[in-house]
Chains A and B, each alone.
Chain A
Amino acid sequence: MTNQRTISRESDLSGQEYQWGFVTDVETDIAPKGLSEDIVRLISAKKEEPDWLLEWRLKAYRHWLVQYETENEPSWANIDYPKIDYQDIYYYAAPKSSSQAPKSLDDVDPEMLATFEKLGIPLQERAALAGVAVDAVFDSVSVATTMAKQLGELGIIFCSFSDAVKKHPDLVKKYLGSVVPYTDNFFATLNAAVFSDGSFAYIPPGVRCPIELMTYFRINTEGSGQFERTLIVADKGAYVSYLEGCTAPFRKTHQLHAATVELVALDDSEIKYSTIQNWFPGTPEGEGGVYNFVTKRGRADKNAKISWTQVETGSAITWKYPSVILKGDNSVGEFFSVALANNHQQADTGTKMIHIGKNTKSTIVAKGISAGKGNNTYRGQVQIMPGAENATNHTQCDSLLVGDECGAHTVPYIEVRNPTARLEHEASTSKVSDEQLFYLRARGLSEEEAHHMIITGWSRDVIKELPFEFALEASQLLKVSLEGAVG
């Protein structure tokens, strides 16, 4: 049943703008293109999954097929792309060396490690020094999880999703699909059917995770989709900060990324989830790039808090709405976002805050930067359900336009079904003014540095929410991503 072959790996490095455009030479264990029940079964078999999980995947697959056949692929977003051929995608590609399941970092393919070096991920000892535990997902398969032992002493579980299925099936079974059911939306359904790996974290009651947990995602195989699934559970009174980074090599063909992230914050717990998304955005002429259709949602129980922070600089298309279901009384949801669309990039991103419990509170700060021919849309929904007494929301959406060929759009949806709610939505649109540029240049900054300083300053309310090291990386990414758009 296994069909293995090695695909050609030509690296195409003509685009200097995208610094992370390299391809790692690792033999890949790959399933044939296309989606079918057999492929779903193959993925499940490869992972040696229990029957209940295979059944869940199959239910998702069948549901997806109905959606697909009735043309229920979402079309409301302000994005424009050719129809995706779901039969022209590899749904499973694992680096071959992983089939021997690395026992420690020493067993990991050295070339893969070199890849992570290039990415600047502090794996190995550097991870420990930096206080970061890394779970690296490489073409959908978790390569190595560092620091698991140290975390284990606190009862914290941090491992690949596959490992979690094997070692902690009860936890996975209890929470998988509890926030994002397999019927949720077209892409989440697809993910439920074919997800190959991802990260799993569980923080036991009352435990404050002492370090930042981190996953680095990378798509390597050409023509492959990446469908990782992440599940984070903070038990009562627990705290965790989780970081996620994403890169993909330079490819002239589009790659599909349809991930799902579920967060469960039980009573009195807090989850802080930060993302730096730097998938390949396509060439300046609009060729290639990742189609990023991601479903992220958290459930906050009583007094719990979920905070999403994202810096979205990559992808040809970003379709992403990290959301919080504020189920418990006094729960808090936050969303801080900087999204950048340069050249031909299109971003349609925002959040959903669903207020169910009493005294629930949400804050949204969304910054959209449009440059080149990029189009950036903030789409956010704030929903106050009838029982959400005294719910409050504050939303601030700011757009910055760099150049006169781009577009900046703001589409908030405000739905209020309880009269005691208080909501405010503010938005502004601006550009980098000539006065600001001259002022900075008169002090000696180059035009590009001046732009960068103004833009990162403008984004500061979001960037300051990131852990320190990520904040520096985010600022650098904004700079690199805007090259060619300013000056």
Chain B
Amino acid sequence: MLEIKNLQASVVDIEDSEILRGIDLRVNKGEVHAIMGPNGSGKSTLANVLMGRLDYEVTGGDILLEGKSIVDLPPEQRAHLGMFLAFQYPAEIPGVRPWQFLKAALDARADARGEEKMTVRNFSKLFDEKVEAVGINPQLVKRSLNEGFSGGEKKRNEMLQLEILQPSLAILDETDSGLDVDALRIVAEGVNSMRSPDRSFIIVTHYQRLLNYIRPDVVHILVQGKIMKTGGPELALEVEKDGYRNYLPAGATA
């Protein structure tokens, strides 16, 4: 599904700002990978670079999706190929309703793939179903996208989009931060229900908490822009107990 080869990236127009220092990663179809790391380790940058955020520049290495390099593709084309990023801080867009936004996103993807667009009626039905499933206040989705949403509401709205867009590769960027236990469970249920042999997940998180609800196949520890260790779910428990100190270079603290 996804193969990351020696990926290096820095902040655009800032010298010596390398954040990712050679990452290698392989996510097979149907797998759930967790990427864990301390603050500033580069895990959010990795999520954003995978989606093509323009603030970062890939200075080396490659990202292959289904064997094809996507490094030069704009974000929208990555989305058309089935990638999805659940944002840590979703942008507020005044005057644009979630309904309108999601329909436009689905239409754009259908256009790009040469598929038929969903009818308004079918879309409405799907939308209402998912709004209920994700547990978003129906009044909220009549308002402007993310505007005036609480942190938790924004995250639920991201899950709503995930459920509707049904991507083949979903990247969750610290989706668990700022969520109470109920919201966390809803996010986890959403992900678990969507797990399938054709769909992969990358879950970026600082804490092991979310992984109590979503059992990852593989866990990676990312520190200072490099993957220091890869293992099974037990790795997350170890981090929970000992923190990241075992992975930091001598003398550093986390």
Direct contact of A and B (CB under 8 A): yes
Q: Which residues of A contact B (CB under 8 A)?
A: 433-436, 438-447, 449-450, 453-454, 456-461
Q: Which of B30-38, B92-100, B118-126 interfaces with chain A?
A: B92-100
Could you tell me if A438 and B75 are in contact, using CB atoms closer than 8 angstroms?
Answer: yes
B95 touching A441 by the CB < 8 A rule?
A: no
A442 touches B55 (CB 8 A): no
In Å, the complex CA distance between A461 and B95 comes to 7
B76 A441 Cβ-Cβ under 8 A: yes
Given A434-B54, A438-B54, A445-B76, also A458-B95 (CB < 8 A): yes
> With A443-B105, A444-B108 known to touch, is A456 a contact of B91 (CB < 8 Å)?
no
B104→A446 contact, CB < 8 A: no
> Is there a chain A Cβ closer than 8 Å to B90's Cβ?
yes
Q: B108: which A residues are within 8 A, CB to CB? A: 444-446, 449
Specify which of B76, B89, B90, B94 is in contact with A458 (CB 8 Å cutoff).
B94
> Please, which residue of chain A has its CB at the minimum distance from the CB of B81?
A444
In the complex, A435→B90 CA distance in Å?
A: 8
Q: Please determine whether A442 and B144 come into contact, CB atoms closer than 8 angstroms.
A: no
B19 interfacial contact with A, CB 8 Å? no
B247 within 8 A of A: no
**Do most interface residues of chain A lie in helix, strand or loop, or is the interface mixed?**
helix
Q: Could you tell me the distance between the alpha carbons of A441 and B105 in the complex, rounded to whole angstroms?
A: 9
Would you call B105 and A460 a contact (CB within 8 A)? no
Does B8 have its Cβ within 8 Å of any Cβ on chain A? no
CB distance from B181 to the nearest CB of A (A): 27
Contact of B91 (CB < 8 Å), options: A439, A444, A461:
A439
Residues of A within 8 A of B53 (CB): 438
Interfacial chain A residues near B23, Cβ < 8 Å: none
CA gap between A447 and B74 in the complex, in Å? 9
Tell me the bound Cα distance from A56 to B93 in angstroms. 52
Q: Given A438-B54, A458-B95, A444 and B87 touching (CB < 8 A)? A: no
CA distance A449 to B75 in the complex (A): 13
**Interface 1/0s, chain B 163-198, versus A by CB < 8 A?**
001000000000000000000000000000000000
Least distance between B166 CB and chain A CB atoms (Å): 12
14 sample A-B contacts, Cβ–Cβ < 8 Å, listed by A number: A436-B91, A436-B92, A438-B51, A439-B93, A443-B76, A443-B79, A443-B102, A444-B79, A444-B80, A444-B109, A446-B108, A453-B93, A457-B94, A459-B95
When distances are taken between beta carbons in the complex, the residues of chain B under 8 Å from A449 are 104, 108
A462 — nearest CB in chain B belongs to which residue? B95
Residues of B within 8 A of A447 (CB): 74, 76
The 10 nearest A-B residue pairs measured at CB = A457-B95, A460-B95, A457-B96, A444-B79, A441-B75, A439-B91, A443-B105, A435-B91, A436-B91, A444-B108
Cβ of A441 and Cβ of B94 under 8 Å apart? no
Shortest B96–chain A CB gap in Å is 3
Size category, B interface: 35 or more
**Does B161 interact with chain A (Cβ within 8 Å)?**
yes
Smallest CB–CB gap between A463 and chain B, Å? 9
B228 CB-CB contact with A under 8 Å:
no
**Contact at A433–B91, with CB atoms within 8 Å?**
yes
Q: In the assembled complex, how far is the CB of residue A459 from the closest CB belonging to chain B, in whole angstroms?
A: 7
Decide if A444 touches B76 in the complex (CB within 8 Å): yes
Of A435, A438, A440, A442, the most chain B CB neighbours within 10 A belong to A442
- Beta-carbon nearest neighbor of B80 in chain A: A444
**Beta-carbon contact of B96 and A442 below 8 Å:** no
- Chain A residues with CB under 8 A of B92: 436
Q: With contacts A438-B54, A439-B87 known, is A446 near B94, CB below 8 A? A: no
CB closest chain-B residue, reference A461: B95
**Which of B75, B92, B102 is packed against the most chain A CB atoms within 10 Å?**
B75
Of residues 204 to 249 in B, which have CB atoms within 8 Å of A's CB atoms? none
Complex alpha-carbon distance, A457 and B97, angstroms: 8
Closest to A435 in B: B91
B105 touches A444 (CB 8 A): yes
CA distance in complex: A187, B208 (Å): 72
Contact A441-B74, Cβ < 8 Å, known A434-B54, A454-B93, A457-B94: yes
Q: Given A444-B165, A445-B76, 5 more contacts at CB 8 Å?
A: A440-B105, A443-B79, A445-B105, A450-B76, A459-B95
Minimum CB–CB distance from A401 to chain B (whole Å) comes to 15
> Are A438 and B91 also in contact (CB < 8 A) when A444-B79, A446-B76, A454-B96 are?
yes
Among B76, B79, B89, B90, which residue has the most Cβ atoms of chain A within 10 A? B76
Q: Please, how many angstroms separate the alpha-carbon atoms of A140 and B154 in the complex?
A: 53
B93 neighbours in A (Cβ, 8 Å): 436, 439-440, 453-454, 457
- Docked-complex contact B101 and A453, CB < 8 angstroms: yes
Which residues of A lie under 8 Å from residue B102 when comparing CB positions?
Answer: 443
Asked if B112 CB lies within 8 Å of chain A CBs, one says yes
**With known contacts A449-B104, A453-B101, A442–B95 Cβ distance under 8 A:** no
CB nearest to B146 among chain A residues: A439
Q: Which of A436, A441, A445, A450 has the most CB of B within 10 A?
A: A441
User: CB-CB < 8 A to B85: which residues of A?
Assistant: 442
| Complex-state Cα separation, A439 to B109, whole angstroms | 15
- For residue B104, which residues in chain A have a CB less than 8 angstroms away from its CB? 445, 449, 453
A458 neighbours in B (Cβ, 8 Å): 94-95
* Distance of A348 Cα from B94 Cα, bound (Å): 25
User: What's the least CB distance linking A351 to chain B, in Å?
Assistant: 21
- In the complex formed, the residue of A with least CB distance to B110 is A444
Neighbouring A residues of B161 by C-beta, 8 Å: 443
- The closest CB in chain A to the CB of B75 belongs to A441
Judging by beta carbons under 8 Å apart, are B165 and A443 in contact? yes
For residue A461, which residues in chain B have a CB less than 8 angstroms away from its CB?
A: 95
Which residue of chain A is the closest to B161 with respect to CB atoms?
A: A443
Q: A434-B54, A447-B76 are in contact. Are A456 and B87 (CB under 8 A)?
A: no
Contact A434 B76 (CB under 8 A): no
Shortest Cβ gap from A163 to chain B (Å): 41
- When chains A and B are docked, how far (Å) is the Cα of A368 from the Cα of B228? 52
Bound-state CA distance A60–B217 (Å) is 85
Minimum CB–CB distance for B38 against chain A, Å = 24
Distance in Å from the Cβ of B116 to the closest Cβ of chain A? Answer: 16
Q: Does B101 contact A441, Cβ atoms closer than 8 Å?
A: no
Interfacial residues of chain B within 1-53, with CB under 8 A of chain A in the complex: 51-53
Please, what's the 1-or-0 string for B58-97, where 1 marks a CB less than 8 Å from any CB in chain A?
0000000000000000111011100011010111111110
